[in-house]
Chain A
Amino acid sequence: MNNFNNIQSLWSNQEPQKQNKNVDYIKAEAKKRMQSSGRRLGWGIIILSITAAILGIIICYLPSLKWPFGPGLLAMFLSVTLRSSLEIISMIWKQRLNIALPTQQYKCQILRYYRARKALTTTVTFSTLALYVAGFSIMIPAFYSYMQTLYFIGVLVFILVSVPVFSIFLIKKSKEELKELNEIIALLD
């Protein structure tokens, strides 16, 4: 096998195996994925709009809100708005990644994206969670003063159960994504 043309013909004579999926399946699958990604973005925008609207109302009424409700609500909704905005930016960034770039450029582009995603999954997520919890925590003494004891205990129990459950869920999800991101970054680096 000392002629390059022979090597080429050896290569091109490989017969593709019988395809399981036809071209119509491919188009349908692509359309399904596009719709699903559009839906995710749409939901993200709806959530962001709602939290941003509530944040706007809080900011407008901030001077008239008594301590500690003003800063507490502000911290809680600021953290949710910030996290939702960054998630939407990340979704749009992902959609705009240009897969048709030459491999080296694509690699650099996707590495930048995954590193940003890693920062979002770790630092940003936990900072915003901390801000949310801090916002709520500073309002607890006020709840105690303004609410009837039974209501206060109800709210407190609900929060003491829901916040740790949500935090565990978030940490688990973040760990899973982080593991995947570290694998991709190690592969591309």
Chain B
Amino acid sequence: MLLAVCSIFALSIAAPFLHRIAKDYCAPLLALLPGSICFYFISLAPRIAEGKPVEEKWEWVPSLGANLTFYVEGLSLLFAILVTGIGTLIVIYAGGYFKGDAASGRFYSLLLLFMGAMLGIVISDNLFALFVFWELTSISSYLLIGYNHKDEESRSSALQALIVTGGGGLALLAGFVLLGMAAGSFEISAINQSGPEVVHHSLYPLVVIGVLVGAFTKSAQFPFHFWLPNAMAAPAPVSAYLHSATMVKAGVFLLARLHPSIADTPVFVWTVSIVGAMTMLLGAVMGAISTDMKRMLAYTTVSILGCLTLLLGVGVESALFAFGVLVLAHALYKGTLFLVAGTVEKLSGERNVKHLGGLFSRLPALGIAGSLAAMSMIGVPLFFGFVAKEAIYEAALKATNMSGLWIAAMVVSSALFVAVAILVGIKPFFGPEVRELTVKKAPALMLVGPLMLSVLGFAFFFLPDLLGKYLIHPSSAAVIGDANIIVLKSWHGLNAVLGLSVLTIAIGIVIYRFLPKLGSVSESSFAKDPFGAISVYERSLAGVLRFGQWQASTLQNGYLRKYILLTICVTTAFAGIVFILHTNWKSLHLTFDLRVHEAALIIVMVAAVAILVRASSRLTAIVALGVLGYAVALVFMLYGAPDLTMTQLCIETLSVVLFVFVLYRLPQFIRLSRRRTRLRDAIVASCVGALMACLVLVASSEPADSHLRQYYSTKAYEEAFGRNVVNVILVDFRALDTLGEITVLAVAAIGVFALLKLRPPADTEGAA
């Protein structure tokens, strides 16, 4: 298993080099690997049909429970065969599609990267490994949709797909983590065996939200459906492979895989059924009223995904059985139709169904493939699509709730499918020629895929026993256990289901007839954006951007004064709140025994501050600041700290002198700030001042009887024989520190000397 995934990744890395050597023969060569892996999986079928899953385990991050474990049961097997089998055909098809394109090595590389990741999703047992592969498919899908990166539209739709699926992916991760915690294991096989534990866990609602958002975004369910039609900007092989056969099915696959553990609640059943049914109808209607071939196919894919979701919601045995049949049938016919549409577009440059017709004479092989697939999509007997349609009607009939509603929805959407199938698969070839088109010759490589898929869709009708036994039954058994064996039959005889099928085709043909009269619908705003999901996406994207810009221009405007203002405000508020909440005001013992000289000092300080803030010249302000500094020095002296006084006096003098030097070079001082600004600054400054004053009050009411003072004052004489404690500390107790300080001073002096000697060159003096 690991070998299979890793070998595809390795080939992905090697592909550009191989392409450089092998040129146009590259594609068939590359296809050999997925082809052989497909055969390997097919060879596992008998073993799995006997109920023996294949397991493999590699440790990765054991402490998290993130391991590379693979667990292949029926459901995984079905998907693995689809991923590798269709992948093989797509690679071959791409060989024709990109014939002569020297840069297409990158395309193969991305396509194989996607294939490896997709294979990883379907066979992983570990939630983390699954998630890693899941995100890898989102990323490779993003790169593949945006493959024509010069085109603005394909870039933006690629981004849209990535934002929707990637965002959903993260919701999924949240869901996975919570699911793992609820179930006590990150291995899906173990979670599924844990019984009702998950459903009854308190985290269950969050688990369901996470998993459903992840699955719905990936599988383009309403209201996240809009990215898929837009993703049709991708080259045809990508649309056929990622956006119809494989990646978009990852969501429903996941729901199916987790079905045993999380599905057994009304919340899950109703959400999934209703969303599925809505998506099914919406997709079918949108498909029928579009005219662009690829969009029509994309919308019907959305519809089928809705149907698959609905089947999972219905959840009875026959529904899960129908799920497997429909996955297989849809992959065959929709893959073909996408490839046919892509080929027609590539060869004729036209993908509007209104303009296509009469191509059969020029593209006979393609015409056969297209019409076979269309028949299958319509559900004509003798095609596998018919079997699928019978199966889903059967499932809807057996649904426990609302059976009639589901059947009606299915019939309506299937009838619309009939119209789409005729328009896309049959009319371009057998319809009347609408306008002259220059059609190139189809390369053989581009025909292998569509022919093979469409013929299989025909042949499978005749092999119900084989398919039922080895693929379909094991896949539904993996989800629901094999209590009742449903036999896959191609022909059920004349019964209600057959009646529904006939009815569907009849309505479908009527719709086809009336569609041309609805011509203008596809231009209406409803057709472009049903229920406004796209505009919600676009508006929220624009809103987030605007919010970011608004913040950037108001908060982040580059003015240092604003930054400082905000910093100070927040700090004051921050410290203030802590302070007010946690200060025990009663414990403060404040005393007010003010002496005359202290009062005088305070008056001097206040006056200095008043002059400072009102000063109209810088020199006055500096002098006032100096007065303030000297007053502080006097305070130190009054409280018996002569050394501090000395330091303060020196620094104050020095800074005043330095200030004056600098001022000398500054331009004339002008008061530029407005009154309001000054008022605001005054308020902020007062708040900071008040806070600091409070802090000082609180801190100074704490008795500071440090044992250091006592220690040094006793030991100074005893051990160092000095009476001046400060001196003793400096030269004896902390002599090494003092030496260090002297060294620092010396180094600084050398630096100052160097700076003084350094004179700026004459031309830069102004700038300096």
A pairs with B: no
